[in-house]
Amino acid sequence: MCGRVAQYRYIDDYCAVLGLGGKWLSSIENQPLDRYNVAPTTLVALLHQAEDGLHADLVRWGWRPHWAKDRAPPVNARVEKVAHGPFFQAIWPHRALCPIDGWFEWVDEGEPKKQPYFIRRKDGAPCLCASIGQLPDADEGLGEHDGFVIITADSAGGMVDIHDRRPVVLAQDLAREWLDPATPKERAEQLVLHQGEPSEAFEWFRVDRAVGNSRNQGAHLIKPIIA
């Protein structure tokens, strides 16, 4: 987790859910993103704070330090290690939110192919996933080495049956605190370690196996199917 997400609303919908009450600067055209099957290494809408306010940019999902050229860029970072391990040390201070409408996991149910599930908030709101990255410069835009990772934690409750890891999704007020550059790094670590949304905030259901091919798109990929 998490290796495939959905991101289909208007970018302004994701910005507005933060409740900042002001304007934001977006390099993304305000039309439905319409991406129901988003794979790692592609450009994904990301929210981050700069000196002039909230920015929304398309940023590559995946990042690695320059000295780790012998491995593929990770797309996730384990919350238990991200704040103190050397791998993400350079980007730990650079906090962001990846706003998604849900994510996919695959479960072995004894069939020849694993069954995909879609996981989303029960209340229908976007999932504000705590992220860190090498982020676009406010003046120069996206750089060659920019990218981000989503922070993940152990699953709990019934979600464990779907996958043992989950993205750290923050409630609106905590998401604002996470983005705020004035939030100390120690407080930021406590937010993602202990204050992510509980499994009870989510629902999950079987979806079409067509989601296994990232070239497939469309709203039918997130519709429940009857077992």
Active site residues: 2, 105
d(CA 209, CA 216): 10
Strands 24-26, 53-60: pairing is: parallel
What angle is formed at CA 150 by the lines to CA 107 and CA 2, rounded to 5 degrees?
Answer: 10
What tokens appear for 46 in the block?
């990301």
What tokens appear for 38 in the block?
């988003």
* Helix, strand, or coil (residue 209): helix
What tokens appear for 68 in the block?
């780790």
Break the chain down into helix, strand, coil percent, rounded to 5: 20, 35, 50
